[in-house]
A and B are shown apart, each in its own frame.
Chain A
């Protein structure tokens, strides 16, 4: 029999038995819904992690020289922490030799940061913000853009002029009613003039990139950021292409080993942190999430398959007479077989489609009420539909073959 005829028949059966179909579809529907929702959230987080968060934290094709990693992957052993604590800090004196060793075309920046109170005349009490003292091409490497005002001039950077560039959250908190440009804010009792406002970066997973204040490294505020004024937190290096990463890291490593007087065989007592090392954590987490994203729907689909098989067996029993009639009118075994297979597949595909819609809704809902981002992957929709049809066909095989093997006379005699 014609394929579309079978689908039409299946849809009319679903329409005729709405409640029963609803329960039949539930398992597949829930399975696919979770599949879509979990995959969407994992995808969304992955995209966010890879393109956004890591880029903002570290930058593309870049690495950071630090005395210890500031992004830690999973559990860190207490003994490792202890060894981190004993490491020598990086000093501003280290910057020049490191820069001198970099390959051509590499960009660099120096940064020290800490959380400090900031205040202004245009709002109430002081508010905490992330204060960074920077030098070099920090904004270019981190892809921070200036929305209003201007960047630091080379003179301001080298002389440590008390000027700042602030994030939009700081504007909201300290300059709620006036334009911040050209106005003063105070850190550590000293006034700084706002010369620029950064574009909003948004926030995710509780981290805000907008509550930040940037000053030239040489400005007085750097003294407040670390125990010893000359300590720096990181030298950030960005190379033009991924191929140059290893070489640049190797050069920096050699310079620092010499400066720290390490003998051959002694381990590094500093860290070269890359975005990969941060991503490794994410990839590990993602594996668990995807596993959960597959296991959960799989249970739903197996339950769905069993339900569909049962419903189809009941349908074959209930419709024995119909099968007899169809056979008497010339339906071959293959016609009956395909009728019930298509019916089971249609039933469960309809369930899958409903599940996809609900899953997308659920993902969007989770994205709306939680900091988790969601991104619906088109492949997961295709997989969802295919799973639906597959589950239907697999669970329909046995009932359908029973139907096709019915003896027409016995089938017609059934009440």
Chain B
């Protein structure tokens, strides 16, 4: 099968394969932040079944920086939503930090989103009427933190993305890159175990994109687990591991060096 043939030599796939293929229901070891086993997501469109995911097996270690690539409609966003606990799979298991998330109820998922997950969206998704600071405070509000502590914590998160000077600006008073940095600060403010980004540079020009990629790079260097969806090879090349989706299934899973070597033409054309 193509999946196995493409998991080539330089990959540390043995351990990963063990994690995902070990017996269904078995709790993965603590090394793995994310383990999905045979995740399926099907939409019933009035009798016609749309299979967005057809059995995805992925295992991601703590501190990894992973890019998910694939053509439009391949199921990247669907996978991200499930990994981000915004959606639940129709079949399969999703383990987050050794907890089986795929069978959780609504309010438990909300708690996981609040504590374990930081989301960065293509369209920023900031509250337009709130200041940068207040936007960053939001996850802390739902975590039940006191107003004073909230403000301190949010201000620190904005400092991490170099936006201290724009704390009291509203989104429409900020540039695209600044907005995305506010969104990143908001995603980080609760110290999540994973930072998820669905096409974070999709709405940005190339200069701003590389500015944002630098932020991700730094976060990854500091030990933050990052998973990023993109369909641009040069953006994916920033990650240390690239998982490719095709038609709702993992088609390849490679280290950055290998990915760069294979896609050099596409990447250089952009740079």
Chain A residues engaging chain B, CB cutoff 8 angstroms? 1-2, 5, 12, 16, 321-322, 324-335, 408-409, 412
Contacts and interface: CB of A to CB of B under 8 A. Distances in A.
Q: For the complex of A and B, list the 10 residue pairs with the smallest distance between their C-beta atoms, beginning with the closest.
A: A330-B114, A330-B142, A332-B110, A329-B139, A332-B107, A330-B113, A325-B125, A408-B86, A329-B138, A331-B142
B106 interface: yes
A335 B113 CA distance: 14
A163 B143 CA distance: 87
A328 B125 CA distance: 10
B13 interface: no
DSSP class of B's interface residues: helix, strand, loop or mixed?
helix
B127 A325 contact: yes
Given A322-B127, A325-B127, A330 B86 contact: no
A329 B129 contact: no
A324 B186 CA distance: 15
Given A1-B142, A2-B144, A329 B113 contact: yes
19 contacts: A1-B141, A1-B142, A2-B141, A325-B126, A326-B138, A326-B142, A327-B86, A327-B113, A328-B119, A329-B119, A332-B106, A332-B107, A332-B110, A332-B111, A333-B106, A334-B107, A409-B86, A412-B86, A412-B121
Contacts of B51: none
A286 B218 CA distance: 77
B86 A335 contact: no
DSSP class of A's interface residues: helix, strand, loop or mixed?
helix
B16 interface: no
Contacts of B106: 332-333
B62 interface: no
A12 B139 contact: no
B195 to A, nearest CB: 13
Contacts of A334: 107
B87 interface: yes
Contacts of A325: 125-127, 138
Nearest to A326: B138
Interface string B97-120: 000000000110011011100010
Contacts of A324: 125
Q: Which of A327, A328, A333, A412 has the most CB of B within 10 A?
A: A328
A329 B142 CA distance: 8
A325 B136 CA distance: 12
B81 interface: yes
Nearest to A5: B141
A128 to B, nearest CB: 71
A12 B113 contact: no
A409 B86 CA distance: 7
A7 to B, nearest CB: 13
Contacts of B139: 329-330
Given A408-B86, A409-B86, A330 B143 contact: yes
Nearest to A322: B127
Contacts of B114: 329-330
Nearest to B186: A329
Contacts of B113: 327-330
A212 B79 CA distance: 95
B164 to A, nearest CB: 22
Given A331-B110, A409-B81, A412-B86, 11 more contacts: A1-B141, A326-B142, A328-B84, A328-B86, A328-B113, A328-B125, A329-B114, A330-B142, A332-B110, A333-B106, A333-B110
